[in-house]
Chains A and B, each alone.
Chain A
């Protein structure tokens, strides 16, 4: 059971005539950190949305902790690329909305508030609880998005390029924070990324996808680096560089940029 916490078998996805994903097979263990990497338009986000239950596959089955994924649910929290905070609610209220939904039936109002504050503290934003998303920076918004996802105590954390829109320094800071949080909570994470360094730094396994249409899993790299990982130490680590090279090789040699392939 634990060896296959999320089980994706023979999944096909078509949007009308467009064949996006073909024959995806992947098993994710509990507590594992998986990144999906590939060129734009290869269907990484589509695969993530399938796990989230926002879309249903055209063919095949996705199972999460023994139950088929039939729709979205709070046990699979999503951190969206563009943070998707509701602009008319404060950061506190944005998170409280999620907390209330998941724990509202069982806990008192005070406990719910406490949970919300704890989630804000986890991402270091307790001071910004009363602010609206328009009043805080991009990095802070993304942290609130992560806090909202974590506040639901999900079994799986699904992240769609969560740091894609951030500058390099903020991104590095949030990656470290994410590693700390994941280590503390033991969450299972599936994350879509474009960033090779991010993938190697964070993942237990890197799932590399071929170019679309009809993209599938091209190769999987298992990252056997000790945790906790330190980005400065890793920068000199030959093993880290090996992993990095093999992902780059996959992306740029075996799966050249789609535009180049079409031009040839």
Chain B
């Protein structure tokens, strides 16, 4: 029971806007703005009184005129400033990464430099959809195969998890039934379920989908359930006074009010699913980005592994962004 709430609070905190890398970037940005605003303010006050820079010749600027009266205006940001503050920090971070990579590559003989990797990537992506036998396919096919597995496993999990979450949140009896099970099974690594999948389905592909299913179902159940439990009592009182049917309560009151919570669950789930698919495919083989990484490791093709890491990151980010956009589109405005 406490485990359920614990997870939810974590999810709730990230719920309204962005989370993970995006939120971190936002915080970093605002901190930097504050950090250099203060010293700049002091410096410009001094500069403004010392060096007047008139816009119209012969007439001093308003800043200078006021400064003569002892009134110091706050420093002007300039139009470029917000743009620079938005673009510069991430660019700087990225170049730091490339620099570290370069140093690492120069020191290690077997490690490709960023430039080599870039050339390799251009070659790879110039023909992403080729097929030369089952174990040699273009990177596009591999990504699509992984996405297909995630979509299947994830879709099934949503199909089961969201209604189950509703029932758990709505009926305390069902809550009592499933709460201990969820607390017990949620912490289990999804890969530990892979052998069960292999055993039951006797095939690699369904087993990988099964692993995705099992890892993405928990956040959806828990978030939906907590969302249902947190539906404001006022709305439920309305439902009781109007004596609405259970179906109307579900569609008109619970669903809209739970939706933001549910979408947070969905977002968390898809993040985990994308993490897990890579690992699962390494174990099960076939076609897929995870298998591809492992295959290239066996070929000792390190640039391809690095490219795969980049691709996995980018796809994960895109999935996340898509769901953030979805969540924004569907959440109603309070008050």
Give the interface of A toward B (CB within 8 A). 52, 54, 71-74, 76-78, 80, 82, 84, 86-89, 97-98, 101, 134, 152
Q: Which residues of the partner chain A approach B240 to less than 8 Å between Cβ atoms? A: 54, 71-72
Residue of B nearest to A78 (CB): B241
Q: Which residues of the partner chain B approach A134 to less than 8 Å between Cβ atoms? A: 333-335
CB-based contact A86/B238 at 8 Å: yes
CB-based contact A87/B332 at 8 Å: yes
Interface residues in B302-335 (C-beta closer than 8 Å to A): 332-335
**Also in contact, A101 and B234, with CB within 8 A (given A74-B241, A88-B256):** no
Q: Which residues of the partner chain A approach B244 to less than 8 Å between Cβ atoms? A: 97, 101
How far, in whole Å, are A97 and B242 apart by their CA atoms in the complex? 8
The smallest beta-carbon distance between A148 and chain B, in angstroms, is 8
The listed residue (B237, B242, B245, B334) touching A87 by CB distance below 8 A is B334
| B253 within 8 Å of A (CB atoms) | yes
Known: A72-B243, A80-B234, A97-B244. 10 other contacts (CB 8 A): A54-B237, A71-B240, A78-B237, A80-B238, A82-B234, A86-B238, A87-B332, A88-B256, A101-B243, A134-B334
How far, in whole Å, are A84 and B332 apart by their CA atoms in the complex? 15
Residue of B nearest to A93 (CB): B252
Q: Which residues of the partner chain B approach A73 to less than 8 Å between Cβ atoms? A: 241, 243
CB-based contact A54/B333 at 8 Å: no
CB-based contact A80/B237 at 8 Å: yes
Q: Which residues of the partner chain A approach B237 to less than 8 Å between Cβ atoms? A: 54, 72, 78, 80, 84
Contact digits for B235-270, partner A, Cβ 8 Å, 1 yes 0 no = 101101111110010001100110000000000000
Q: Which residues of the partner chain A approach B235 to less than 8 Å between Cβ atoms? A: 84, 86
Q: Which residues of the partner chain A approach B238 to less than 8 Å between Cβ atoms? A: 80, 84, 86
CB-based contact A86/B335 at 8 Å: no
Give me 25 A-to-B residue pairs in the complex whose CB atoms sit less than 8 angstroms apart, sorted by A's number: A52-B241, A54-B240, A72-B243, A73-B241, A73-B243, A74-B241, A74-B242, A74-B243, A76-B241, A77-B241, A78-B241, A80-B234, A84-B235, A86-B235, A87-B333, A87-B334, A87-B335, A88-B332, A89-B252, A97-B242, A97-B248, A97-B252, A101-B242, A101-B248, A134-B333
> In terms of DSSP, what is the predominant structure of the interface of chain B?
helix
Q: Which residues of the partner chain B approach A97 to less than 8 Å between Cβ atoms? A: 242, 244, 248, 252
How far, in whole Å, are A78 and B248 apart by their CA atoms in the complex? 19
Q: Which residues of the partner chain A approach B332 to less than 8 Å between Cβ atoms? A: 87-88
Q: Which residues of the partner chain A approach B242 to less than 8 Å between Cβ atoms? A: 74, 97-98, 101, 152
How far, in whole Å, are A74 and B335 apart by their CA atoms in the complex? 26
How far, in whole Å, are A80 and B239 apart by their CA atoms in the complex? 12
CB-based contact B241/A72 at 8 Å: yes
Q: Which residues of the partner chain B approach A80 to less than 8 Å between Cβ atoms? A: 234, 237-238
The smallest beta-carbon distance between A168 and chain B, in angstroms, is 22
Q: Which residues of the partner chain A approach B333 to less than 8 Å between Cβ atoms? A: 87, 134
Q: Which residues of the partner chain B approach A54 to less than 8 Å between Cβ atoms? A: 237, 240-241
> Which 3 A/B pairs are nearest by Cβ-Cβ distance?
A88-B256, A84-B234, A88-B332
How far, in whole Å, are A152 and B244 apart by their CA atoms in the complex? 13
Residue of B nearest to A158 (CB): B241
Q: Which residues of the partner chain B approach A82 to less than 8 Å between Cβ atoms? A: 234
How far, in whole Å, are A30 and B256 apart by their CA atoms in the complex? 38
Residue of A nearest to B333 (CB): A134
CB-based contact A86/B253 at 8 Å: yes
Interface residues in B249-294 (C-beta closer than 8 Å to A): 252-253, 256-257
Residue of B nearest to A100 (CB): B248
Residue of B nearest to A49 (CB): B237
The listed residue (B241, B243, B256) touching A86 by CB distance below 8 A is B256
Residue of B nearest to A80 (CB): B234
How far, in whole Å, are A44 and B318 apart by their CA atoms in the complex? 54
How far, in whole Å, are A165 and B333 apart by their CA atoms in the complex? 21
Residue of B nearest to A98 (CB): B242
The smallest beta-carbon distance between A173 and chain B, in angstroms, is 22
Q: Which residues of the partner chain A approach B243 to less than 8 Å between Cβ atoms? A: 72-74, 101
Q: Which residues of the partner chain B approach A84 to less than 8 Å between Cβ atoms? A: 234-235, 237-238
The smallest beta-carbon distance between B231 and chain A, in angstroms, is 11
How far, in whole Å, are A240 and B55 apart by their CA atoms in the complex? 72
The smallest beta-carbon distance between A48 and chain B, in angstroms, is 12
Q: Which residues of the partner chain B approach A87 to less than 8 Å between Cβ atoms? A: 332-335
Residue of A nearest to B257 (CB): A88
> Which of B240, B242, B253, B335 has the most chain A CB within a 10 Å cutoff?
B242
How far, in whole Å, are A84 and B241 apart by their CA atoms in the complex? 11
Residue of A nearest to B256 (CB): A88
The smallest beta-carbon distance between A261 and chain B, in angstroms, is 31
> Which of B241, B248, B256 has the most chain A CB within a 10 Å cutoff?
B241
